């Protein structure tokens, strides 16, 4: 663990407190040129819940239908209704970006992966104890 990471964890209650966290809920604003170029020219205000133990993120209000949930794990991205019925899915979602250029339009599932903070994966279990 780096000194910076150690100091940040300590400033927020220590490693034991962090290990007690099950989920992080976030609401944010997302807009900009990248969305316009990729074919999603709107201001999004989704919320997401990050399951820090299972490395799973669930977005709500990311698409146009408020009944949809956009979910991703490391090797699968999918859209489902709140009742659990599957709308669309992709396994190995990173592969869908192969050959893309700045001008390449996204399909319906690619914004979910992009919102995953540009491929930053949250892994609580990789922070070793001191």
pLDDT digit string (tens) for 64-112? 788 999 898 888 989 999 999 999 998 987 787 788 888 888 777 776 5
Question: In this predicted structure, what is the pLDDT of residue 87?
Answer: 93
- Confidence check: pLDDT of 59 > 80: yes
Q: Hey, what's the torsion of the CAs at 74, 78, 61, 53, to 10 degrees? A: -30
Question: In this predicted structure, what is the pLDDT of residue 129?
Answer: 43
Q: Which of 31, 48, 52 is nearest to 40 (CA)?
A: 31
What is d(CA 66, CA 84) in angstroms, rounded to the nearest whole number?
14
- Confidence check: pLDDT of 120 > 60: no
Confidence of residue 116 (pLDDT cuts 50, 70, 90): low
What is d(CA 92, CA 11) in angstroms, rounded to the nearest whole number?
36
39: phi then psi, degrees, rounded to nearest 5: 95, 15
- Confidence check: pLDDT of 121 > 50: no
Q: Say how many Å lie between the first and final Cα of the chain, rounded.
A: 8
């Amino acid at each position: 663990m780096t000194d910076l990471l150690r100091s940040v964890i300590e400033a927020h209650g220590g490693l034991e407190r962090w290990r007690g966290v099950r989920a992080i809920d976030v609401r944010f604003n997302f807009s900009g040129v990248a969305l316009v170029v990729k074919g999603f020219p709107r201001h999004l205000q989704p919320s997401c819940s990050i399951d820090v133990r299972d490395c799973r993120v669930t977005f709500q209000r990311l698409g146009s239908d408020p009944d949809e949930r956009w979910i991703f794990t490391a090797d699968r991205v999918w859209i489902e209704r709140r009742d659990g019925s599957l709308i669309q899915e992709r396994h190995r979602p990173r592969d869908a970006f192969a050959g893309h250029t700045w001008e390449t339009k996204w399909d319906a599932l690619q914004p979910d992966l992009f919102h995953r903070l540009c491929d930053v994966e949250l892994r609580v279990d990789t922070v070793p104890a001191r």
